[in-house]
Amino acid sequence: MVAVEGKVAVVTGGRRGLGAALVEALLARGAAKVYATARAAYRDERPAVVTAELEVREEDSVAALAALAPDAELVFNNAGVLLPAGLLGGDFAAISETFDVNVFGPLRVARAFAPILAANGGGALVNMHSVLSWLAGSGAYGASKAAAWSVTNSLRIELAGQHTQVVGVHAGFIDTDMVSAIQRPKATTADIAARILDGLEAGRTEVLADEVSAAVKTALSGPVEKLTFAAAG
């Protein structure tokens, strides 16, 4: 288990939405410094926040972030993309971008920061998944989140030797710009951020951040035909 107080954290996609809520929650729990990234440069006047540009699809950009944050102890892979891309009829460029951002992006970040976390005592790597990791019917996005879940589970084994706590977070619909057009009940970003940090500090390897994620997780042992997007209603 890893306490937040006094730690140095990195939050990808930290400018808005859940990422901004994670930055706020980390500071509220006493984090010493938070590196918060976005695709474009921006300012944050809080002295404990260091902003940085990051394009998770580019190795050089990820490497630059790692060079900027050699003191990182907690890494939150929050950056992601939701593009309208069905697997058969969708634009293949959109499918490719979805996987590049949602799967390979977090993996690039994990590979760049693994030695930094090791040098700083192990720390933690927290990856954002989705309840759609387990549900069919959301095209490339759901498929990418399923792949990201698998990546996280394998990283947990590979990073165990350096004492890095690897946490996979599953959440349903969160009140962010990404899903503003979806008419479903949504949790607040502040509530989800708090549950993520609660899980981290409790030493959990998986955080089911809302009721819908907990319900769908229990359904995984049932018929695969029932594991559809409609089950997240």
Give the Å distances, CA to CA, from 188 to 20, 107, 156, 162: 12, 27, 28, 34
Q: Which residues pair with 207 in a beta bridge?
A: 169
Q: For the whole model, what pTM was predicted?
A: 0.93
Nearest 5°: the CA angle 24, 151, 41 is: 40
Domains of the chain, each with CATH number or no CATH: 8-232 (3.40.50.720)
Q: Using CA atoms, how far apart are residues 189 and 193, in angstroms rounded to an integer? A: 6
What pLDDT band is residue 113 in, cutting at 50, 70 and 90? very high
224 against 200, higher pLDDT = 200
**What SS3 class is residue 136?**
strand
pLDDT tens track for 125-145: 999 999 999 999 899 999 999
pLDDT tens track for 186-212: 689 999 999 999 999 999 999 999 888
pLDDT tens track for 23-82: 999 999 999 999 999 999 999 999 999 999 999 999 999 999 999 999 999 999 999 999
